[in-house]
Structure 1
Amino acid sequence: MARTPPVPGPAAPDPARRPIPRHLWRAAALSGMASYLDAGLIVSISVNLAVYRDGYGMGVWMAGAISAIVTVCIAVGSLVGGWLADLFGRRRVYNWDIFCFALGAVVVTLAPNDIVLLAGVLVAGLAAGADLPTSLAVVSDAAPAWARGRLVAFTQVMWMLGIAVAALLGFVLSTAGITGARLITGQLALAALVTWLLRARLKPPAGHDAQQGRAAGREAEDAAAPHGVRAKDVWTRAALLPMTATFVFYVTWGLGANTFGQFGTYLLVTVSDASQSLATGINLAFIPIGVALTLAFVRVADSPWRDRLFHVAAAVQVLAFVVAALTAGALAGMLVFFVLYQLSNPFAGEANYKVWSQLTLPAETRGTTQGLTYALSRGVFAVAAFFTPALAEYSAAVLLWSITACMALAAFAGVFVIRVLVPRAPGAAARPHLKAART
């Protein structure tokens, strides 16, 4: 006797289309201010450096020290801040980080001389670095499994806004001298103080969303409660493998991104023979595109398209650097490079690193482990930045081919994370769309 086939039930709703409650977006925005302030601090120091040099009568070594100390302090802050957050409670450190940044930014804004300026940069840089892994861990703790990708990815939008605001103010206030420099950093101090007040009122995750996240396999916690982190908890296979893979991706991708973030205008002028105004205009023109495409990444961050698009975007990103290297930095090749790079970078860059880290790293050591990958990567970026101008002068082709090789390695590391680590992540069984991402 033939058996009647079962009637299929209604299709499970796509988690990527499920609306996220407003209070979770608010938590993501407040956490994303760490990225806004980090990017804003780096860009504002870069934009204002010539003004500081003239206004304070700096020597070349002091100017170099201020530029280097930003990256170094962010690296050290990331290393220490993530560990402190896991040790004393993420929300406690989360609030103190932003307050310390505000104090540092106020000192930078009101500095009467270069020594005080250096002290302010030191405090603000350490606090910005400490807030990066801590804020990502806090928003990940608050997020249910089905929304974590979008909420964490939204912090990258805040990063792009930090760059955009600082760059735009630098352009508008370029003739205002030291007053313009104070206004650029002053907005960072004001934004940090407002964020500090709003973070203090942010409630810890509770209720249905938090329970649902735990049921889905997310090892959520009330991060306000302090707990110790032992070295052996970090050096386990469960933590070490995703930490190593995400580090390899971030450091190799970041060598290219950081080089063009810090030296994009410099390379266009010195290698491509572009004018200063054209070089600045090229960089500014692509910022709105970057913001728009990063918002597009947020929309797909909890769907199979997040990892599907990575494969395409990573290939295009490598192609962009191949074009730049083949033309040895000629202006026509660099224009093609910027178009390809800006179209692909939001789908194969830092936003992926942030999401993958929160998905694959153990919840109880997430602040410490991601702080470690941030710190080591930023340290490598600082060393590379020191040698970049000399290498560009020796051979632009060697510099660009070296970066191309790094980008290719980043693509392979990203594929490993997608194919091996994400499907094994805690709570992956409750996210069936992850299986679709592998096909």
Structure 2
Amino acid sequence: MAGTRPIPPPLWKAAALSGMASYLDAGLIVSISVNLAIYRDSYDMGVWMAGAISAIVTGCIAVGSLVGGRLADLFGRRRVYNWDIFCFAIGALVITLAPDDSTLLVGVLVAGLAAGADLPTSLAVVSDAAPAWARGRLVAFTQVMWMLGIAVAVFLGFVLSTTGMTGARLITGQLAVAALVTWALRSRLKLPDALSEPDTETAPESIPLKRVWTRAALLPMAATFVFYVTWGLGANTFGQFGTYLLVTVSDASQSLATGINLAFIPIGVLLTFAFVRVADSPWRDRLFHVAAVVQILAFVIASLTAGALAGMLVFFVLYQLSNPFAGEANYKVWSQLTLPAETRGTTQGLTYALSRGVFAVAAFFTPALADRSPSVLLWTITACMTAAAFAGVFIIRVLVPRSASPARDTADPRVPSTWPAGPSHKEH
């Protein structure tokens, strides 16, 4: 049965190294958020510079996704895959050693662009190398890395909260070290995917941009974009402003707000591992229906209570229980299953970029909206989550069955017989 065949260790290694894009993406966003107050005091930032940093991070990730995904399809996914992680390390190092806010901004720009470029590229690389029966689990595993990126940044922020700028440098410094180690390991990674190495079959002219504007690419691209942008407006809001909303709207203390976020992270990590286990089975999409309803219910409760602390506690419980089965992990898997393989980097880069651009704009206005009317903010997010549920159902009912055709699976022929794919694997 799908989802039960063992996956060869080299593919798990590829998934882990590709998942570092998600680890570093999440780690960068959360680290900047955790350190922002320290940066403000240490660099004597103006209020506009402090407020713009988070929006700039998200905006750079959006631009990087758009450009990086296209460059990967043009010049070879492995080439971009190796060098964008190196550029991220440089940016993270500049952030860590920045003597002033101007230098910090330069580091944020470089790291954000590189993180964005690595997101669609790394997913395309592991998806290219994966056989169809393992693709869901391998792509879903990158979401585990995303959760770990959040967990490490929040944990270090909690432990180092009294160490000032030294702690801030350690939090971003671990990202630079992780990126350099990943770059070294990726450089030696052996993968049998024809699309990831530039050659005569994948020269720039072989993947013209017009291939993106076909029905085969546009429909799944539009559907996955609608799901990700509507779901992500809620997830990104609580990812960037969860502690802020608990303090300013729910009247929680700073320590209680930080503790609530930290306490629920292990639940999210464990349930994301559970999603990986079912990502190649029919349970992946069956559980989505249940989790999507629970997720909407969570936001309805938060909205009905206007952000009161008791309601927010119930919200966090229901949200953490449902989010791993009706969130970004689904988007990643559905994108790899439904988007055409030859333009996968470009098309997913577009959906990432457009979504992150929307998130950046929303992040700029969120504090003001929360101050003016928490209820309007929460009900707006509830409506977005409802729209995401409908988009997910469309993907499951219409697009995923279409992608099950053997003609759409271009990865299996590139898995060599030297990898123990299982008794039913056929060599090509």
Q: TM-score, normalised by structure 1?
A: 0.90
Partner of 2:230: 252
Displacement, 1:430?
A: 9.7
1:222 paired to 2:222: no
Runs of 4 or more consecutive aligned structure 1 residues displaced over 6 Å after TM superposition:
none
Deviations 1:355-411 (A, max 9, x none): 000000000000000000000000101111111111111111111111111000000
Partner of 2:370: 392
Partner of 1:274: 252
Q: 1:427, 1:25 → 2: CA distance?
A: 25
Partner of 2:154: 167
Displacement, 1:227?
A: 2.8
Root-mean-square deviation over aligned CA pairs = 1.2
Choose the corresponding residue for 1:346, options 298, 301, 324: 324
Partner of 1:41: 28
Displacement, 1:42?
A: 0.4
1:16 paired to 2:3: yes
Deviations 1:167-225 (A, max 9, x none): 1001111111111111111100000000000000011226xxxxxxxxxxxxxx43212
Aligned 8 A contact 2:302 2:311 in 1: yes
SS of aligned partner of 2:69: helix
Deviations 1:40-69 (A, max 9, x none): 000111111111111111111221232221
SS of aligned partner of 1:16: coil
Displacement, 1:427?
A: 4.0
Partner of 2:286: 308
SS of aligned partner of 2:190: coil
Aligned 8 A contact 1:109 1:182 in 2: yes
Letter of the structure 2 residue corresponding to residue 162 of structure 1: G
1:290 paired to 2:268: yes
1:51 paired to 2:24: no
Choose the corresponding residue for 2:107, options 116, 120, 125: 120
Deviations 1:322-344 (A, max 9, x none): 11111111111111111100000
Residues 430 and 16 of structure 1, relative CA distance in 2, 3 Å threshold: farther
Aligned 8 A contact 1:145 1:427 in 2: no
Letter of the structure 1 residue corresponding to residue 223 of structure 2: A
Choose the corresponding residue for 1:299, options 270, 277, 281: 277
Choose the corresponding residue for 1:180, options 154, 167, 174: 167
Partner of 1:104: 91
Q: 1:139, 1:423 → 2: CA distance?
A: 22
Which has the larger Rg? Answer: 1
Choose the corresponding residue for 2:241, options 238, 263, 282: 263
SS of aligned partner of 1:19: coil
SS of aligned partner of 2:6: coil
Residues 124 and 368 of structure 1, relative CA distance in 2, 3 Å threshold: same
Q: TM-score, normalised by structure 2?
A: 0.93
Displacement, 1:428?
A: 5.6
Q: Which runs of 5+ in 1 are unaligned?
A: 1-13, 207-220, 432-439
1:361 paired to 2:334: no
Aligned 8 A contact 1:52 1:178 in 2: yes
Partner of 1:242: 220
Choose the corresponding residue for 2:304, options 322, 326, 349: 326
Displacement, 1:231?
A: 2.5
Aligned positions, number = 404
SS of aligned partner of 1:134: helix
Aligned 8 A contact 1:205 1:222 in 2: no
Aligned 8 A contact 1:78 1:132 in 2: yes
Partner of 1:414: 392
Displacement, 1:230?
A: 2.0
Q: 1:401, 1:268 → 2: CA distance?
A: 16
Q: 1:392, 1:323 → 2: CA distance?
A: 17
Q: 1:261, 1:429 → 2: CA distance?
A: 39
SS of aligned partner of 2:196: coil
Deviations 1:120-157 (A, max 9, x none): 11100000000000000000011000000000000000
Structure 1 stretch 263-272 or stretch 122-131: which is displaced more?
A: 263-272
Q: Which runs of 5+ in 2 are unaligned?
A: 410-428
